[in-house]
Amino acid sequence: MKYIEAMGEKKDNECIFCSKPQGDDRESLILHRGERCFVMLNLYPYNTGHVMVSPYRHLPSLEQMDPQELSEMMELASLCLKAIKRAMRPEGFNLGMNLGKVAGAGYDAHVHLHIVPRWQGDTNFMPVVAGTKVMPESVEDSYRRLKEAFEKVMGD
């Protein structure tokens, strides 16, 4: 319900991938900042630990990113996998992009990579039968665990 209400209040010109890096990292759920890209926990996750990697520049698609941005996005994706594995021990991952509104992008004007940890049995009948999703951990708790894991893997 929180997501549905927020989408109704979303300003047409607001881009979270542009505005969130301007604020406080904890409030913005930013887990790590690179030179050209950053990692942010998804406020409305598909699954616990769902993060997004995005360039700071407001670009709608991969082909408009420069080679350094593309390289850093993949380096940060690898860092995300290490940190999420350390903090949450998932059994697998989904990585993907929704390019364009018709492809399901909530923010289609700013390219971002979704990284979603997966566990055996993490999807069940609830979304189909009850129209709801059960999240075993709060976003705040996920942020704390992942922030600690990012700091540790950066030190390795």
**In the predicted structure, residue 15 carries a pLDDT above the cut 70:** yes
Establish if 1 belongs to a structural domain: no
Establish if 8 belongs to a structural domain: no
Q: 138: domain CATH number?
A: 3.30.428.10
The 10s digit of each residue's pLDDT in 107-156 is 889 999 999 999 987 765 444 444 545 566 788 888 999 999 989 998 87
- What pLDDT sits at residue 85? 97
Q: Mapped to the 3 state alphabet, what secondary structure does 58-109 carry?
A: CCCCHHHCCHHHHHHHHHHHHHHHHHHHHHHCCCEEEEECCCCHHHCCCCCC
Of all helices (H) and strands (E), which one includes residue 151? helix 139-155
State the catalytic residue, choosing from 50, 110, 112, 114: 112
Domain total of the chain = 1
Establish if 126 belongs to a structural domain: yes
pTM above 0.85, yes or no: no
Establish if 133 belongs to a structural domain: yes
**Full residue range of the structural domain in which residue 25 is found:** 14-155
Active site residue 112: yes
Establish if 64 belongs to a structural domain: yes
